[in-house]
A and B are shown apart, each in its own frame.
Chain A
Amino acid sequence: MDGGALGAGLFGLMRGLTVPALAILRHRSVLFLLVVAVAWASWELFLALTAPRRIDPALRSALQERTPVAVAITLGFAPENFHIRLFQSYGVVSGVRGTTVLVSRVSPEDLRRIARYYWVQRITPSDRARLPPVP
């Protein structure tokens, strides 16, 4: 850097400062962030792994063909406004029967996204679906 004993001394001071600074970071804040990151990652993994189980096999072919489908999403409880609004962003909500919400024009990607919600029990084709025959 700049020449001379004084310059080297200042630079050494700067470098000396950074090591203790790192040590301080090995503190509450960083540990906390690490724990949060690990917890979040594992949760996302869990969701991704359990998602396929929720989709009825009859929908598999529609997924592969990439056609929009009409589905019946069964929850474990009576849906609230919150859930209706959420499904409205994925398709056209045509009705609610007890704990089941009927949504049509759901694209395959959106179907997978819906399957990732842990509070969704099952997704089945609704009666008004136009599905290719099951092989």
Chain B
Amino acid sequence: MMAGWLGSLLSAGRGAIPFALILIAWALATRAGVLPAMFLPPPGDVARTAWQMFQDGSLWINIGASVGRVLVSLVISVPLAVGLGIFVGLRRRLSPVVEPIAGFFNALSGIAWLPLAVTWFGLGWVSVTFILFNTIFFLVFYNTLVGVRTVPRIFEHAVRTLGGSRRHVIFQVLIPGAMPNIVTGIRMSIGFGWRALIAAEMIATSTGLGFMIYNASNFHQTDTILVGIVTIGVLWLLTDRLVLQPIERWTVERWGLVSSAS
């Protein structure tokens, strides 16, 4: 593998080729008139719509709504879930019982809560944010709980033999030992949460990227849908590059985790 900026430029270039091919195929297909314009508008139209939405702010409002909900939910749910997970994980009598319950609620998390949330809170951002909260919370809570419980006892015994107190055990052994699981949980919660959000926005609210594309389909505004889809993809790629990969690099360096696509 060629080192340096030339190598990474070539690598990026190679990665961009499939996108270019797709764009070309798309342009050719619409030029040839294979499908009606409503089904697949030409790339030029989509670009023009995107530019328009950029300028009149409608795209930004929706991006802001979606991303904002995710950030708020992360900021509130993650510390709560990690704290609670550690607290429960330390209680030897409680954790074996709570773990399967947490696993069940973890399995349930996400869009399945939508009808209940709408019953309780009506349509709107409250229901949508509630779903995001509980998706992120249960995922991180469960992973933290499992992480704390699966730290090998031998480490704890080692610290105890060396005269460590319970506090040493908690802060020097259990919490660091659970970190890989905690970080994995946080990473996964962003993936699952983002998807639950898009689906919930389609059904239950009137702002956000999910709403934007679902609403557009009602009016057969295919170009808006495509703008939305590309935006979602780009946002995720940015999150991956700017947030998830650094986290992964940090944890791989520290605790030898393995990369996976989430």
When A and B assemble into the complex, do they touch directly, with CB atoms less than 8 Å apart? no
